[in-house]
Amino acid sequence: MRTKIKETPNFKTWEDIDNALKEIAEAEIDLLDIEGEMNKQIAGAKVTAAQEAKPLQDHISALGKDIKAFVEEHREELDGKTKTLNFGKTGFRLSTKILLPKAKEKLESLINTLKSRKMHDCIVTTETINKDVLKKYSEDEIVKVGLVLKKEDVFWYEADREKLQKQ
C-alpha cells in the first residue's frame, strides 16, 4: 500500500525564516572563502606551469624554425611534398584561404553579388526570436502570432551577507 507523505514546513515563524537566512549568509560567506582559496591555488598552479613550460615551448619553437629553414633550402629532396624520417614527417601542403574585406559595405556588396549569382550556399544566415523585445508587445499580439505568455510568481530570497560580516 502506498502512503502519501505530507510535507510540513520546517519553519513556523518569521524569526525561523530570519535565522535560516542568517545560516544561508554564513554558508555563502564560507563558500566564497573556499572558492577564493581555490582560485588562489589555481592561479599559483597556472603561474608555476607557465614558468616550467616556457623553456620547453621556446625550445620547440626554435627547433621548428630551424627545421623550416633547412627544409626550405632542401625542398628538392622531398618525396613529392613530404619527407618521412625516423621520428616524424616534414614537408609542405597547399593551404587555400579566402580573404574577406573588413568594411561592412564591401561585405554587403559581396553578399549581394553571391545572391545575384545564386550562390546562396555560401551565405550563413541565422534567424532567432528576440524574446526580450517580444515581451514588450501586448498579450493579445503575442497570442495572435502563436506564442504563449506565461506569467508566474517566482519565489526568491536574498541573504544579507554584508550585515552578517559587520557583526
| pLDDT band at 162; cut points 50, 70, 90 | confident
The answer to whether 164 and 26 are in contact (CB under 8 A) is: yes
| Mean pLDDT, residues 59-83 taken together | 93
pLDDT score of 92 more than 80: yes
pTM for the predicted model, two decimal places = 0.58
CA–CA separation, 58 vs 53, rounded Å?
Answer: 9
The answer to whether 82 and 71 are in contact (CB under 8 A) is: no
pLDDT, position 154: 86
pLDDT, position 4: 62
Task: Look at 2-11, 127-136, 140-149, 156-165 and tell me which has the smallest mean pLDDT.
Answer: 2-11
* Sign of the dihedral through C-alpha 51, 56, 59, 65: negative
Distance of CA 155 to the CA centre of its chain: 29
Write out pLDDT tens, residues 93-142.
988 999 999 999 999 999 999 999 999 999 998 889 999 999 999 999 99
Task: Please report, as a single letter, which amino acid is at residue 122.
Answer: C
- Provide the grid cell at 116: 545575384
